[in-house]
Amino acid sequence: MDPFIDVERLRALDGFITERLNRRLAAAEDRQFYTGPFLLDADASHLPGSRMIELARSREPENYYDLNRAELWEPSPEAAEFAPLMDFIATLPFAATARMLIMYDASGRAVSAHRDHDSSELCHEFVWFRTNQSKPFYMLDPDTGERAYVAGHAAWFDTVNQFHGADATGKLSFSIRVDGVFSEGFRRAIPFPGQNRAAVPSIWANAQAGA
């Protein structure tokens, strides 16, 4: 996704976000990140240690399948604390945004390999991004155990057919995810299959690689 975002502006936010996260560490009141039930290893932790700062909250009871329903989501009080980040989010290729989330861990513990949900016909449109590359984030082939690491600062990936997670670093690591509805101009470049729509990010990534 790097060619479709302002990477230099994103990188410039690194010091600001790091400072804001360090302020919040002492309070430790942010909600823990939950991987969901779809773990690669049934014995792995559903609560790997990461915490979440919700920059938007839904007006309805939490439902993971509603992450892209922009009409349900509104900025949280925390959004004002991260105003420069919100300004950057406004430059991303969305017609409308829904859930917006910072995931961070002061100790940089590993995030268990998992899938987000099990609906192969639901493709969430989102941008996952980071201001630095200190969080080793990967997609994993469960048959071979091979890990494909995100090399750049931003990604969109298949959260249903691919397991994903992060390696331990032993130090502060964080990433941001913004869900919503991509802009019409951006969506026109994306091939949407007739079935297994969750695979769209992988299909699009392969098309980009072959372009």
| CATH number of the domain enclosing 18 | 2.60.120
Name the band, by pLDDT with cuts 50, 70 and 90, for residue 25. confident
The CB-side HSE value for 205 (13 A sphere, CA atoms) comes to: 15
Q: Residue 104 — φ and ψ, nearest 5°?
A: -145, 155
Collapse the DSSP code of 15 into the 3-class scheme (helix H, G, I; strand E, B; otherwise coil) and give the result: helix
Comparing CA positions, the residue from 201, 5, 11, 31 lying closest to residue 101 is 31
Mean pLDDT of the residues in the chain: 92
Contact 135, 174 (CB under 8 A): yes
Residues of the domain holding 26: 2-210
Q: Residue 143: is its pLDDT beyond 90?
A: no
pTM for this model (two decimals): 0.94
Single-letter amino acid code for the residue at 60: E
Q: Residue 25 — φ and ψ, nearest 5°?
A: -60, -40
Q: Residue 109 — φ and ψ, nearest 5°?
A: -75, 160
Mean predicted confidence (pLDDT) in 167-173: 95
Q: How far apart are the first and last CA of the chain?
A: 14
Residue 8, Cα to own-chain centre: how many angstroms? 19
Q: Residue 208: is its pLDDT beyond 60?
A: yes
* Number of domains the chain is built from: 1
* Pairing verdict, β 125-129 and 173-182: antiparallel
pLDDT score, position 28: 65
Burial 37-70 (b: 16+ CB within 10 A, else e): eebbeeeeeeebbbbebbbbbbeeeeeeebbbbb
